[in-house]
Every structure is written in C-alpha cells, then in structure tokens.
Chain A
Amino acid sequence: MAKEKLSGAEIVVDELKNEGVEVAFGIPGGVLLDLYEVLYKEDAVRHILMRHEQCAAHAADGYARVSGKTGVCIATSGPGATNLVTGLANASMDSVPVVALTGQVPTSAIGSNAFQEASTFTITMPVTKYNFLVTRTKDLPKVIHNAFYIANTGRKGVVLIDLPKDVLATKAEVDLHPKETFAGYKPNIKPNQIQIKKAVEALVNAERPLILAGGGIISADAAEELRHLAEFLGAPVVTTLMGKGAIPEGHPFSLGMAGMHGRIYANRAINECDALLAVGTRFSDRLTGWQLDQFAPDATLIHVDIDAAEINKNVQVDIPIVGDVKLALADIIKWLEKKKRTAGTNENVWVQRIRKMHSACEECIKDVRREGTSQSDMLIKELNRILDDDTIITTEVGQCQMFAAHYYMTKKPRTFVTSGGLGTMGFGFPAAIGAKVAAPDKKVVDIAGDGSFLMTCQDLATCVESDIPVVVCIFDNRYLGMVRQWQELFFEKRYSQTGLGVTPDFVKLAEAFSCYGERVEKPEDLKDALHNAFESGKPAVIDMVVDKEDKILPMIPPGGGVIGMIGTERCTRI
C-alpha cells in the first residue's frame, strides 16, 4: 500500500479496522485525547464507555470468549492502566485473546514521575503474552498487526500496546497494513504424525478409554471433532471447568465436569480409566486434586496441547502431542477410522459402567426436589428448565460459580463463560456485558454471588447507557460463601470476616440505575422473575435469597485426591 502521512491515532484506528475490530470497551483520559478524537469522527469501531477499567478488560475478555474474535479494551495512563491489570491477568490465565491499548505520558516525560504516569510496560509484562511500549509513530502499523497476530494464534493470550501521547499525536509517513511478523514467534500448529499414531495405538488397545476435554477444545473450535471421536471410540468425556460446553452435557457419553467441585463419577472415571486422552488442558490443581497417585494411576496418558510448555509441567505424560487440538483430533479420527475401530457400539463392561454413572448423575440433576437438595442447587436446576441451549451463562467466582459448573447443563461451546484460572470475583457481570455485545440476539445471564457482584456492579450504568440488557441472578446468602464454607468445614465454623451484613437492597440498587429488579424468595418463583426480566428489555438484577449456609458439595478437600471427595452422601451409590 502507498505511503500515507497520518497521525499516530489515525494509524491506530485504521489498523484496528483492518484487523476486523468492530467494538472496543474503554474509558478515555488525558493522554488519549488524540485517539478518542479519531474514534469520535469514525464510526467503524463502536466504543462502549465502561465505568471502571477492570470491567473494560473483563468485557473484552467475555466478548472474545463468546465470539472467538480478539477483544479490545482501552484505558488511559497511570491508574487507568493499573486498573486494567486484574482483567488482563484473568484473560491471560484462561488463554483468551485480548488486545489492550493504554495511553502513556509523552516519551520525553517517561521516567519523570509525571502526572498519571505508571510503568505500564513493566507492570503488565507478567500478565501478558507480549507487550509493546511504542516510541515511534512509524512503528505503529507493525506493532498493531503483530499484537493481533500474537493474541489470536498459538496459545491465545493478551497483548498490551502502551501508547505515549506524542506517538499518537505525531504524524508520520507509513506503509499501512504490513504482513511481517517476529522471527522468534512460530506457534506449533501441525501435530507430529508419529505421536498421533502412538496415541491411536494406545486408544485402540485400551479397555477403558476416557477423554478429558479442556478449554483448548473451545478456543480451537474443536467440539465437533471431540464429539465424533467420543462416539467413534466409545469413550466417555469428562471436562475441566474451562471445557464446559466442549460436549453437550446430557450427551450419553458426557460425565460432566471433573475436579475439586466436579461430579463424583467424572472423578471416578479418571481414576478407573486405562487410557486418558487429555486435550487442551493444563492439569490445574483444581482438576487433579493434590494426590496425583490417584489421578489416572493405571492410564496411558496422552496429552494434546498447543503449548509445549504444558507437557510434563504438572503431570507426567506418556504420549505428548503438541499442536492445534482441532487438527490433532481430526488426525486421530482419521487414523482410527483406518483401523475401523467402532467400540462405541460394543456393549463392553466399560460402556455399561459409564451408562450407569451417566444416569446416576443425570437423575440427580434433573430431580429439582431431590432429598437433601439445597436452595442453591434448586435454583440452578430451575435455570436448566427455564433457559434455552443458546443462552450464554457467565459466572462470578465462588459458590455460585461452582453450583453453576456442577449443576448447569451447558449444551454448546462458548455459552459458559467463567474465570477459571485467576478466580476473579467481579468477572461475571462485565464479562456478560462483553458476551451480550458479541451475541446481541442471545440471552445472557450472569450467575452471581452478592459478594462478587458488589465488586463491579457500577457498570450497570454501562448496560443502561449502551442498551446492553443482561440479567444478573444473585445467589444472595449475605456471605463470602465459598470462604465461609471452608471455615465451616475446616475451621470449626469460625466465620472470620466472611459475613456481609444485610445491605444493600439489590432491587433498589437495580432501580437506582434504571434497571429492572426483582427479589425471589423461593426457587419456584425464579421462572416468573426471569420472564419479567427478559420482558422488561432492560438490564436486570434478580436477587435470589438462598440459605445462608448452603454448601456446594461434594468436593475434594484441600490436600485430597480425585477419589477422596467429601459430602457424597447425596450421590447415588453405584
């Protein structure tokens, strides 16, 4: 393309458009005036004004998880940038493609402790896949192209671009839309076929194969391949928290989520299998528990991941496969088909056992009034009955999140959005904003706790202002519930600093923002309240009163392993 003389801000916006950016979540500031001037004139990039930078990052994160595209957030220098950090760390931990643009003081003032100066470049280095401090306007096209390329290829992640005020204001002659990338950045995409054949051999020879599906399945859009493989192989599928939606929960081969708050039979299956195909997962401690000798002790462990550094990091594996999981699964299926393996149709002992495990859990989840069921369980079970399969669920963090992860039946990829790695309270609501912007035709429901929601609820103003009608369902127990649960179980009910008192009135809070608010005292009233919320067309808050001491059980206690779950009394023995 021919050389053009443009200001840095004009170059930034032009390159954003070239990268296909349709929306950015941000807050302006002094050093970003030039950029916002260009955004004011241009309507190609929609800007959503957030009320806190952390929410801007979470919204970009939620947008990316639902759309598969790279989310974009913008914050000013100093406090704007430092407020972004939690959101960037959150997206990084869950490998979500986000590009953050931050303003910076002029290059001549860097290091002088100027007004609203913070060393964003060094502060954000550990919470990004890569970051740039741009010092010359002419570098902008290459920087922005590489930022998007790095964020949304390989193991996806966060890239931050720090933009000093003078770099945005100065004009330069540049070649727009460059194609060149960094010599050192070459993601491993194509899986090694020798390893694939080894994996196929192990799977064919296994009597009790199991597939463990992580978030990598969803970020690589490989749910179709996963389902095909499971059916062809006759292997059940358990998921991680991030893998929820990789296979429709309810599918005969789906055993639901495994791990600390997973389903007992998902964990049992991991313990009993003799070949484990783990795909797009990093074996976090919340999945494996702490007694690794109980984690797939008899299994040939096959690990497929796009990041070579995840191989043998937490768990020693027998057959590593590094590459794009969609390609790897397609290759495995191709070689399996050559071997004409169709164990899925065989009525072997393992398939029968899986069928029993599957129905034991399904019955428990369908039966709303099951004995010993807590109000919180019942509410999620009600949501299963009320919401359609396309509804996007986001969650806050803590008990509400684990109730949702355990009981909510996710049917499709990219419809369950949660803070898996960082465990960020306050994530679900702004993520719901991003989700709704990405999928305006779908219902978006944030499953929240009263503790979490108060951390980011100011962005109800954003929802009203920008017409983003998401529904927040608060599990209102007036406690920091998960920590309280641990205090109850492991600290003899000494509730140190977990009680939240009696304020606020969430219905009035919603109304103060011109949102719809309703209180639900009994689970059976949730249906009408949700109906009213969706009908109102407004952002809505449903305050669901639950027992103060509801617990999410069963769970792997701290230090325990996958077969040492406590609180299993309610589970059917098989």
Chain B
Amino acid sequence: MHTHIISLLVEDHPGVLTRMSGMFTMRGINITSLTVSPCEKEGLSRMTVAIEGSESELEQVRKQLSNLIEVVKVVDLAEKKAIIRDLCLMKVHVKDSNARSTVMQLAESYGAKIVDATLDSLIIELTEEPKTIDRFLELMKHFGVKQSFRTGVTAIGIGAGVEK
C-alpha cells in the first residue's frame, strides 16, 4: 500500500465532483484527500486526489479517471517528482508562559506562523508536506490540540515543464 497523488484537469461542469467521488466509491477505492480549485485555464478546474492502494489499483484508478468524460488530463505525481503541500490550521492550548514560549519556538523551527492568540491558546498555521504536518501535530498534542483543520494535499510537478 502506497499513497499516490493524482492531479486532474477537469471540465468545470455541475456534478463533476459527484461523478469523480462516485467513481472511487464504485471501484471500492478510499480517497485520503481531495481538493478542487480553479486553475490557469478558463472553464477547467484542477483536482488533486490522494489515494491509498497497490500499484494495480492505481493503474485501474488512472484508467477509470481517464474514462470520465469531463477529465481532460490525468497526471500521476510520483512523490519525489512533485512539490506537495497541505495546509493545517490548529488551535493549541497553552497553559502557562512556559508552554507558550516552547510552542512558539517549535512553531518557528517548523516554519509555522502564529495567526491568532488568546491568554491560554494559539492558532497556528503550517503549510508543509503532509508528513511534516503529522509530526508537528504529534508534538502539539503534548500541549493539547483543541481543534485542527487540514485542506488536503495539492501538488505540482517540479521544474519548468508542464505535463502534457
């Protein structure tokens, strides 16, 4: 089992998200995350899907996605060849000034930003690879994570080239 990230260019029609997620349900594939957003081409959207599965399941998914009428392009972003990012917002409990300064130091070393603060909590924003966010969240659990929100991964192929 591996996590695969697939980037899709799709026509911006009503129902395209239902059709996409329905395909995964029909084929018994679990989606780890799914993001949709407009892209540089008018009338098209870009979707980034993270799925867990074997190589043969991935092959099926890639082909079944290509079969969907609205899917213009399917790109399999192998992890090493892509910049992968996830954004996490978390509300961390800080019981005293000692905890507060430790949390702030850790946040700084991870490149996270403090975006809101109260007397006993901090809201921290971290944009990173999913694994780094996992590690940071683990650390924050020692202090108390009241809530965390993640956007799901988005990814782009490295270098100047554009996937054809």
Contact = CB atoms under 8 A, between A and B. Distances in A.
A184 B18 CA distance: 17
Interface string B1-24: 000000000110011001100100
A150 interface: yes
B26 interface: yes
A182 B11 contact: yes
Contacts of A125: 15, 18-19, 22
B60 A183 contact: no
Interface residues of A, number: 20
A135 B13 CA distance: 12
Contact of A308 (B18, B63, B69): B63
B67 interface: yes
Contacts of B14: 133, 135
Contacts, number: 43
B59 interface: yes
Given A125-B15, A183-B11, A312 B56 contact: yes
A309 interface: yes
A130 B22 contact: no
Contacts of B70: 182, 184
A385 interface: no
B63 A182 contact: no
Among A122, A183, A308, the one with the most B-chain Cβ atoms within 10 Å of its Cβ is: A183
Size category, B interface: 20 to 34
A469 B14 CA distance: 44
A122 B17 CA distance: 11
B64 interface: yes
A185 B66 contact: no
Interface string B61-92: 00110111111100000000000000000000
Contact of B69 (A135, A182, A309): A182
Contact of A309 (B11, B22, B67, B71): B67
A155 B72 CA distance: 17
Contact of A312 (B59, B71, B72): B59
A126 B22 contact: yes
B68 A184 contact: yes
Contacts of A122: 15, 18
A118 B58 CA distance: 34
A126 B70 CA distance: 15
Contacts of B67: 155, 307-309
Interface of A: 121-122, 125-126, 129-130, 133, 135, 150, 155, 182-185, 307-309, 311-313
